[in-house]
Structure formats: structure tokens, C-alpha cells
Chains A and B, each alone.
Chain A
């Protein structure tokens, strides 16, 4: 079974600076998808970024980018120019390419932005 580990329960960063959230996963599959979700205090789950394992190029979405290291099974999220609105829980998630399409989540990292 696949597992996802986020080893940083909490992180903080100064506004306008850059922060990196870590995620590692365990799988025997070669094709899969990885995601980062944001959950602000409103509790809405918001998709931040998505990466297909077969793509070598790291995904980017505006200020958000990932460092995907397939061999190391690592999928970190970099947030540049942090803004107060980035404060939230961030969840890393894994999804198999085929078969049952469940998302397997990490434990989450609570990100605080200091003004």
C-alpha cells in the first residue's frame, strides 16, 4: 500500500520570503500522480498543484512550484513571495494511475506566515 509522509508538522515563514514544505512517499508503482492541497481555516480543500510521475519537468503554478525527485520518492512544495493568504494546512497526496482512484494523504503541515 502507498504511504505519504510529511515530516514537518508546522512551518513558519516571513511574509515575502520563500518556504519549502517536504513530502516523501512510498510506492512500487511507476505511474502515478502527486498533489498538494491547501486547507485554509475555512476548511475548504483547494488544489494547489499537480504532478504526473511520467513527466520529468517540475510543475509550477504562479508562486507555487514543486521539486519532484522520482528516484528519491520526494515531492516538495516551494512557495515563493509568501503572502498572508498562504497561511493554511498543506497536504501532500498520492493517487495511483489506474485502478481505484483514491487519494492517499500525508499528515499535513501547518504553515504560518509572519507579517
Chain B
């Protein structure tokens, strides 16, 4: 009965590969997000979807492409992975003005 679930929790891959991270929420929230936490623990938004519509697209390389098949799912696909993409990626969801609910994060390591 996890509220926001991300898979996988850990991902180790070689440079140049393509990988996806999946996220699902069962809270009935209407907005979902992807955040990136770098090696210094700084958290920054990447994308936001509201009812399957992209509403926030920060300055992110176009190798990163989010996909929202429905309002309960938001996946992140990354093409041609680079060493600098290594980070923890968090999915989150929210309903209007309340706080976010975060997933447990996906630690991506590019070697």
C-alpha cells in the first residue's frame, strides 16, 4: 500500500545506455514531479505533470524525457547516459496546496 512507489531503487549502468525509471502513486493526487538530488544533496525540480499535461520543464538536457500515461503514473526515460547523470532521482506527487509525498528515490550510477 505504498503511496508513491518508484522502481528500481538502484540502477547501475554504463555510459551511453538508455534507461527508464517508473513511478506510480495511489493517493489520487493530480500533480506528479521528478526531482534530482545531486552528490551535494541539493534537490532541484526537473519536470511536473498535472493531469497528464506537462506544466514544468526546467533546464534539463533533452536526453531526459518524461512520460505520463495517466495521472497516477509518471515515468522518466534517459537516453545516452553520461557520468554526470549519476544522482538520486525522486518522484513525488501532490494535491493542490498540501505538501508533497515523495517516493523512496532511485539511485542512478553511471559507470
Binding site for B on A (CB under 8 A): 33, 35, 39, 42-45, 47, 50, 52, 89, 91, 97, 100-105, 107-108
Contact = CB atoms under 8 A, between A and B. Distances in A.
Given A43-B88, A43-B104, A45-B90, A108 B41 contact: yes
Interface residues of B, number: 25
B100 interface: yes
A103 B37 CA distance: 13
Contact of B104 (A44, A103, A108): A44
Interface of B: 31, 33, 35, 40-45, 48, 55-56, 88, 90, 92, 94, 97-102, 104-105, 107
Contact of A89 (B33, B41, B92): B41
Contacts of B35: 103
Nearest to A36: B99
A23 to B, nearest CB: 14
B56 A47 contact: no
A49 to B, nearest CB: 9
